Amino acid sequence: MKNILFSAIFALSLVTATAAETNGPAPATDRVGFPTNYAKSYEVLRTVPRDEGKKLVTVYGNRAAASMTNRTQLPYPNGSVLVMETASTVKDTTGQPAKDAAGNLLKDKVLGLHVMRREKDFGVAYAEKRSGEWEFVEYRADGSYLTPPEKSANCAECHIKAGAEKDFVYNGRFADPGKQ
Ligand code: HEC
């Protein structure tokens, strides 16, 4: 009897752990792909200082994503990859963010990469949390996972709020002041 009770509790805790970790239905495999060489081969669409310049966010697009130069062209073409890189910045001797002669922040270490890829029929696995034809993954600079595909339902769910009229991309190249 005791054993049955223990296994029931164990099974229950497994179920809760899985639900908490996955946040909902999500793709089982990585169809986004680590964007090797994005810093050199993708176009910089926008940079945004964060945390009073302690961090610098850079949004990159591959050729297909960068072809979106005006929102009248939406939706993004299939094959589009958007990368949102967060990096720490170089600090001066007083601990304040250092700037180059032109007043730009200097990137130090890449802390993480939010990546979304659009392809035909992508996103089906997110079920009710689907945001268009995109799938989402978050990588470290070395290609390991911060948010693997099976835990990416949160990404898709929040991008629903960007809206179908923006193809579920909050900003991409386009900064909407006050709407971030
Ligand atoms: C709580 C809401 C929320 C969650 C969760 C979220 N995002 Fe976003 N995401 C945003 C917002 C808001 C922006 C726009 C930020 C900006 O432009 O400064 C954004 C921007 C992006 C961009 C740049 C393109 C764009 O939409 O402007 C990518 C790529 C991205 N997110 C991927 C991801 C991935 C991958 C995950 C999960 C690991 C994720 N997001 C989770 C809200 C969210």
Residue 167 to residue 178: CA distance in whole angstroms: 19
**CB-based burial of residue 180 (10 Å sphere; 0-12 exposed, 13-18 middle, 19+ buried)?**
exposed
**Whole-number pLDDT of residue 6:** 52
**Whole-number pLDDT of residue 5:** 54
Average pLDDT, the chain: 90
Please tell me whether the peptide bond between 177 and the residue prior to it is cis, using omega within 30 degrees of 0: no
pLDDT, tens digit, 9 for 90 and up, residues 40-74 = 999 999 999 999 999 999 999 999 999 999 999 99
**Whole-number pLDDT of residue 179:** 44
Neighbours of 78 (CB within 10 A): 13
Checking if the pLDDT of 90 tops 90, the result is yes
Nearest CA-CA partner of 91 in 77, 109, 79, 78: 109
Nearest CA-CA partner of 118 in 45, 47, 57, 33: 33
The atom of ligand 1 lying closest to the CA of 175 is 17
- Mutate which of 30, 62, 84, 152 for ligand 1? The one with the most ligand atoms within 8 Å of its CB, which is 84
Would you give the distance in Å from CA 64 to the centre of its chain?
17
